[in-house]
Amino acid sequence: MIAMIEIYTDGACRGNPGPGGWGAVIVRDGQPETELSGHSPRTTNNRMEIQAVIEGLGAVPPGEPVCVVSDSEYVIKTQTRGWQKKANQDLWAELDRATQGRRIEWRWTQGHSGDPFNELADRLAVAASMPPNGGSDVQPEGAPRLSHITETGEARMVDVGDKEITERVAVARATLVMKPETIKLIQSGGFEKGDVLGVARVAGVMAAKQTHGLIPLCHPIPLAQVTIDFDTTSREGELQLTAMARATWKTGVEMEALTAVTVSALTVYDMCKAVDRGMLIKDVRLVKKTGGKSGDWSAE
């Protein structure tokens, strides 16, 4: 099939992963008709190669036959030889939609071999990889990264298989603001539902043990101990809750402590809401953690 419209595409990335850009040149009857480009603050070279094709196809009316020309074997051979789409599933799905019902020829070209339109697409992609404001969006070497996000932006469960087993401790705290009369009822055991703090303590322990079932990417952890303590005397009209979780394992127990203190506070609210619906749960936070590769940390 001879296509009258050619789409030359290219992708670029500074860091891989890092800031990237894509470029596409629409060529009609041998003459450049449209130049397209775009920027992504954090991406990979392969993602930019796919994005360039998607954007290029989007600029051509669906009924017109086209020839996509790219120096990316990743793109061309995936389309022509059935290479497995192991990564970038979101963009491959978008490209599948963009190609549906179209007459497309896929052609690979050697990069930087003197093809003027391939060189132009490359220049567009490289220029687009620069931050739009002229500053720098390159993440410094050694800067913190989100461990639950892959290089392509997909959520993942962190592999802790090779991590060292050490003792891990985490302490979390929350405050429940209520009427002074409600505090007095709690202290005197004046609620028909029973021992408010006793039930809240059990609820917090149970919640900590179920954290991995509530937070999608948390690991099941063999907890050695969970404690919930209550302070009704630190400030009038406030109940302070403190949860501690401890385990000897490959990953931390911060989420277990936070889940425990949150569910404990919710349980107090549930048991007391009949007399005080205006209660406020606030300042839920991690205050301390020990163990693990990152060492000890304290908010206080």
Report, as residue numbers or ranges, the catalytic residues: 270
For the chain, give the secondary structure using H, E and C. Answer: CCCCEEEEEEEEECCCCEEEEEEEEEEECCEEEEEEEEEEEEECHHHHHHHHHHHHHHCCCCCCCEEEEECCHHHHHHHHCCCCCCCCHHHHHHHHHHHCCCCEEEEECCCCCCCHHHHHHHHHHHHHCCCCCCCCCCCCCCCCCCCCECCCCCECCCCCCCCCCEEEEEEEEEEEECCHHHHHHHHHCCCCCCCHHHHHHHHHHHHHHCHHHHCCCCCCCCEEEEEEEEECCCCCCEEEEEEEEEEEECCCCHHHHHHHHHHHHHHHHHHHCCCCCCCEEEEEEEEEEECCCCCCEECC
